[in-house]
A and B are shown apart, each in its own frame.
Chain A
Amino acid sequence: MKTQTKIALIFFLISLATIVLLGVSVYFFISRYSFTDFYKRLEIRGVVTAKAELDHEEASQAVLQEVRALHLEKLPEEKEYFFRIEPGVTFGKAAEELDLPLSFFNSVVETGSGTHQAGDIFFAGIRHTGKDGNYVVIVSAANHFGTQLMTYLRNILIAGIITASAFALFVSFVFSRQVFTPVRKITDRVKEISSQNLHMRLEQSKVNDEIGGLAVTFNNVLDRLETAFETQNNFISNASHELSTPLTTIIGEAEVTLSKTRTQQEYTDSLSTILSEAERLEKITKSLLFLAQTGFAGKAQKFDKVRMDQLLWDVKETIDKINSKNKVHINTSLMPESPEQLKIKGNEQLLHLALTNLVSNACKYSNNQPVTVSIGTFDDKVIVVIKDTGVGIPEAELKFIYDPFFRASNVTEYEGYGIGLPLTRNIVRLHEGEIQVSSQLNKGTTVQVSFPLGHYTLS
């Protein structure tokens, strides 16, 4: 069964139960009230009649007759019976005569009052203490009015319950349909989305409700899926391109060299070209391997105490070795006073690799113009900012910079494979850090990396 139908049925059954319960209780209490009321009336009649008929007091006789005539209108089939209570005599004969149970008489004698119902006729009995002995006074009458009232009430209630439940059934189906419309819409829309049209998104309602949240979550999943898809596609095409370039060179060089006999010098030259291309190939595959390893985080890296400022000086040293023309300036003007706020938990080799990548990129893409590396801390974070005044990254391409092998359109003249930044980001992520790149074309790039502090105390 569909959830929609289920909800509608549950809603309907709850409403039906409530309505029926209400109807039954109304009927029950009204009927009880109506009976009690009628018995009371019969009792009063009994008292008045007994006084008038049995007591024979001259003074009150006239008054009682008048009360009976004026205020106690004759009930349908009203009858009165008087039985003298005599010790040792039971009411067996009287009971048989009136077709009443003996227990009724006994209860009147013992408790002073009693009631009995036989079909439409109601009997009320009282014990009357007169001047010349005790009597059992029984008044009987038909409660036509009460019976009519109850029938009328029953009919109204049954009609009401039927109408109300029909209404409840209708409302519950409309209601559940209404509730599930957005869900159905989402389902229909998601069905349309396949790997061919991953750019499609669900409609997001402006109201921040559960369904809206679902749509937003779906869209986020789609965003990630789309990015992953694109990255995968780009990666394969870029990787094969990057790997095939040196291979083509190697093959071409070898073919040309082998086409005829060469001199010793020519062989040496050609072999060294092949060697350098092969080395390049090795570098690419090595860094790819590294990228894959850090990306997976499958192997547990050894994390230890790393002092960030020390690491920056080490990085500068490494850069100096690779590129003697660099102008890396380490800005310690905002370095915190306490060394405790500089220690993070991390793998020194990896962090060194990541920062060297960033700083050497800064040097490379700014043609060795000054590069500032600043360090500061706030809250529980160490932040390192690497700023250059180089070529920058076109704004539209900023979102692709972490894709492996992606290279911005304005850096074709610089050598590189496009593995450095994704690798750096993987390392930063491994350390639960964050990396942010902001850039302006031809004005420079600022990379901001932050790592959580390791909470090492001085000891």
Chain B
Amino acid sequence: MKRTVLIPTDFTIESLNLLKYAAQSAESESINLVLAHGLHLSDSIFDLLFFSRTETVEKLLNEDFEAAGKILRNKYASRINSFRIEIFSGFTQSAFQNFLSGNRVTEILLPKTYSFKAVTQRSFDLAPFARASKYPVKEVDWQAIPNAPEKNKLAEVFLI
């Protein structure tokens, strides 16, 4: 069975370090990548009625992040079998467990020192859930990107 790696993301280019690490560690096999973002859904009845996963993800994405992700995927084209972005909106550990098994995740990557930025007010960190899950969790450390002129621009991808 192919490995499926869950990577929490905050849609910043710096957080793509995890993706790069996953691809590098894949070596000769090809892996599935699931980028996950924790987001509590709105309580409004209308938002729930017209909820669309694709639209929600599109709203969170920014152009530079998308482009950076594509550059990385081009770089590791033969190692990345599939790549998708998922939203986790549960509250409980068992919901997260369900989310993992639903996405056929085999392992999780977490950053060691980098702390996720909240993209929206409803975003939350997946790390506590991940640590409490029974899946193998690997922590990755990287050197923080200095405050370069290209911070949060596409060119930042070459610094990670």
Residues of chain A having any CB pair with chain B under 8 Å: 331, 333-338, 341, 372, 374, 376-379, 381, 383, 385, 387, 392, 436, 438-440, 443-446, 448
Q: Which of A378, A387, A439, A448 meets B70, CB within 8 Å?
A: A378
Interface residues on B, range: 20 to 34
Contact in complex: B153, A383 (CB < 8 Å)? no
In the assembled complex, which residues on chain A have CB atoms less than 8 Å from the CB atom of B147? 440, 443
Contact, CB under 8 Å: A446 / B157: no
Chain B residues with Cβ under 8 A from A443's Cβ? 147-149
Stretch at the interface among B35-43, B71-79, B116-124: B71-79
Q: Quick one: which of A333, A379, A438 contacts B155, CB cutoff 8 A?
A: A438
Instruction: Give Cα distance in the complex from A401 to B22, angstroms.
Output: 40
Chain B residues within CB distance 8 Å of chain A: 66-72, 74-78, 147-150, 153-155, 157-158
Contact B74 A448 (CB under 8 A): no
Q: Judging by beta carbons under 8 Å apart, are A337 and B78 in contact?
A: yes
For the complex formed, measure the closest distance between the CB of A410 and the CB atoms of chain B, giving whole angstroms.
15
Which of B74, B148, B149, B150 is the one whose CB lies under 8 Å from A378?
B74
A379 and B67 within 8 A (CB): yes
CB–CB B158/A331 < 8 A: yes
**Of the candidates A372, A381, A392, which one forms a contact with B149 in the assembled complex, judged by CB atoms under 8 Å apart?**
A392
| From A335, A392, A446, contact of B75 by CB (8 A) | A335
Residue of B nearest to A448 (CB): B155
B69 nearest CB across to chain A (Å): 8
Which residue of the partner chain, among B66, B76, B148, B153, contacts A448 with CB atoms under 8 Å? Answer: B153
Name the distance in Å between B126's Cβ and chain A's nearest Cβ.
26
Distance A307 CA – B150 CA, assembled complex (angstroms): 26
In angstroms, Cα B71 to Cα A84, docked, is 111
Contact between A337 and B149 (Cβ–Cβ < 8 Å)? Answer: no
Q: In the complex the two chains form, is A438's CB within 8 Å of B71's CB?
A: no
**Bound: A440/B147 CA distance, A:** 9
A336: contacting residue among B66, B69, B74, B157, CB under 8 A: B74
Contacts of B77 in A (CB 8 A): 336-338
Contact between A387 and B71 (Cβ–Cβ < 8 Å)? no
- Chain A residues with CB under 8 Å of B149's CB are 392, 438-440, 443-446
Instruction: Find chain A residues with CB under 8 A from B153 CB.
Output: 436, 438, 446, 448
Compute how far the CA of A392 lies from the CA of B150 in the bound complex, rounded to whole angstroms: 12
Of A335, A378, A381, A438, which is in contact with the most chain B CB atoms at under 10 Å from its CB?
A: A378
Most buried by A among B75, B77, B149: B149
Instruction: Using known A-B contacts A337-B78, A385-B158, A387-B155, determine if residue A376 contacts B71 with beta carbons closer than 8 Å.
Output: yes
User: Are A374 and B74 in contact (CB-based, < 8 A)?
Assistant: no
Contact (Cβ within 8 A) A372 B158:
yes
Contact of A385 among B76, B78, B155 (CB under 8 A): B155
**Judging by beta carbons under 8 Å apart, are A387 and B78 in contact?**
no
Of chain A, the residue at the smallest CB distance from B71 is A376
A387-B150, A438-B153, A444-B148 known; A341-B74 Cβ under 8 A = yes
Contact in complex: A376, B150 (CB < 8 Å): no
Minimum CB distance partner of A444 in chain B: B149
Of the candidates B67, B72, B74, B148, which one forms a contact with A446 in the assembled complex, judged by CB atoms under 8 Å apart? Answer: B148
Contacts of A392 in B (CB 8 A): 149
Q: Which residues of A contact B75 (CB under 8 A)?
A: 333-337, 376
Q: Is the CB of B74 within 8 A of A387?
A: no
Instruction: Please indicate the chain B residues that have their CB under 8 angstroms from the CB of A372 in the complex.
Output: 158
Task: Give the complex CA separation of A346 and B79 in angstroms.
Answer: 31
Contacts A334-B71, A336-B75, A448-B153 known; A376 to B148 CB distance under 8 Å? no
